[in-house]
Amino acid sequence: MSNPNNLSDNIVWHATTIQRRDRESRLGQKGTVIWLTGLSGCGKSTIANELESLLYQRGAATVLLDGDNVRHGLCAPPQTLAQRHGQAFADRFGLGFGQQDREENIRRIAAVGELFVSSGMIAITAFVSPYRNDRQSARKQIESAGAQGDFVEVFVDTPLEICERRDPKGLYKKARAGEIKNFTGISDPYQPPSSPEIHLIGGDDRTVTEQANEIIVYLEASGRLRAN
Amino acid sequence: MSNPNNLSDNIVWHATTIQRRDRESRLGQKGTVIWLTGLSGCGKSTIANELESLLYQRGAATVLLDGDNVRHGLCAPPQTLAQRHGQAFADRFGLGFGQQDREENIRRIAAVGELFVSSGMIAITAFVSPYRNDRQSARKQIESAGAQGDFVEVFVDTPLEICERRDPKGLYKKARAGEIKNFTGISDPYQPPSSPEIHLIGGDDRTVTEQANEIIVYLEASGRLRAN
Domains of chain B plus CATH, in order, are: 27-69+109-221 (3.40.50.300)
- Radius of gyration (Cα) for chain B, nearest Å? 20
**Which distant-in-sequence residues (6+ apart) come within 8 Å of B48 by Cβ?**
B36, B64, B66, B124, B125, B126
Average pLDDT score over chain B: 90
Query: Closest to A46 (Cβ–Cβ): which among B10, B111, B141?
Result: B10
Per-residue CA distances from A97 to A69, A100, A180 (Å): 17, 8, 11
**DSSP states of A12-80 as a string?**
HHHHTPPPHHHHHHHHTB--EEEEEE--TTSSHHHHHHHHHHHHHHTT--EEEEEHHHHTTTTT--HHH
Helix (H) or strand (E) holding B62: strand B62-66
Check residue B16 and give its pLDDT.
Answer: 56
Task: State the average pLDDT over residues B109-116.
Answer: 95
Task: State the average pLDDT over residues A93-101.
Answer: 90
Check residue A18 and give its pLDDT.
Answer: 86
Task: State the average pLDDT over residues A124-149.
Answer: 94
Check residue A135 and give its pLDDT.
Answer: 97
The C-alpha atoms of residue A163 and residue A42 are separated, in whole angstroms, by 5
Torsion of CA B207, B212, B213, B215, to 10 degrees: 140
Q: Using 50, 70 and 90 to split pLDDT, how confident is the model at A4?
A: very low
Count H helices, E strands: chain A? 11, 5
Alpha helix positions (H), chain B:
11-15, 20-27, 44-57, 67-70, 78-85, 87-93, 99-118, 132-145, 160-166, 171-176, 208-221
Per-residue CA distances from B162 to A134, B175, B203 (Å): 46, 16, 7
Task: State the average pLDDT over residues A183-187.
Answer: 94
Closest CA to B62 of B34, B95, B85: B34
Query: Closest to A92 (Cβ–Cβ): which among B23, B100, B116?
Result: B100
Q: Using 50, 70 and 90 to split pLDDT, how confident is the model at A60?
A: very high
- Residue among B7, B8, B141, B171 with most chain A CBs within 10 A, to mutate: B7
Q: Give percent of chain A with pLDDT exceeding 70.
A: 93
**CA of A39, closest CA in chain B: separation in Å?**
13
Query: Closest to B208 (Cβ–Cβ): which among A13, A41, A84?
Result: A13
Q: What is the pLDDT of residues A117-132, one digit of tens each?
A: 999 999 999 999 999 9
Check residue A183 and give its pLDDT.
Answer: 93
Residue A227 has pLDDT above 90, yes or no: no
Average pLDDT score over chain A: 90
Phi and psi at B125, nearest 5°, equal -115, 140
**CA of A176, closest CA in chain B: separation in Å?**
20
Q: What is the pTM of this model?
A: 0.89
Q: In what order do the strands lie in the sheet with B32-37?
A: B62-66, B122-126, B32-37, B151-157, B198-201
Measured in residues, chain B has a length of 228
Contact A122, A55 (CB under 8 A): yes
**Which distant-in-sequence residues (6+ apart) come within 8 Å of A34 by Cβ?**
A51, A122, A123, A124, A125, A152, A154, A215
Poorest-pLDDT segment among A109-113, A196-200, A204-208, B11-15: B11-15
Residue B151 bridge partners (DSSP): B33
Residue B154 bridge partners (DSSP): B36, B198
Helix (H, G, I), strand (E, B) or coil at A226: coil
- Residues of chain B neighbouring A56 (CB-CB closer than 8 A): 18, 22-23
Poorest-pLDDT segment among A99-103, B133-137, B193-197: A99-103
Check residue A15 and give its pLDDT.
Answer: 42
Residue A6 has pLDDT above 50, yes or no: no
The C-alpha atoms of residue A71 and residue B218 are separated, in whole angstroms, by 33
Residue A189 has pLDDT above 50, yes or no: yes
The C-alpha atoms of residue B61 and residue A62 are separated, in whole angstroms, by 11
Is ipTM beyond 0.85? yes
Which listed residue (A2, A40, A119, A129) is catalytic? A129
Q: Using 50, 70 and 90 to split pLDDT, how confident is the model at B171?
A: very high
The C-alpha atoms of residue B39 and residue B161 are separated, in whole angstroms, by 11
**CA of B122, closest CA in chain A: separation in Å?**
11
Q: What is the pLDDT of residues B60-99, one digit of tens each?
A: 999 999 988 898 899 999 999 999 899 999 999 999 988 8
Q: Determine the Cα angle at A51 with ends A30 and A73, to 5°.
A: 85
- Residue among A1, A11, A13 with most chain B CBs within 10 A, to mutate: A13
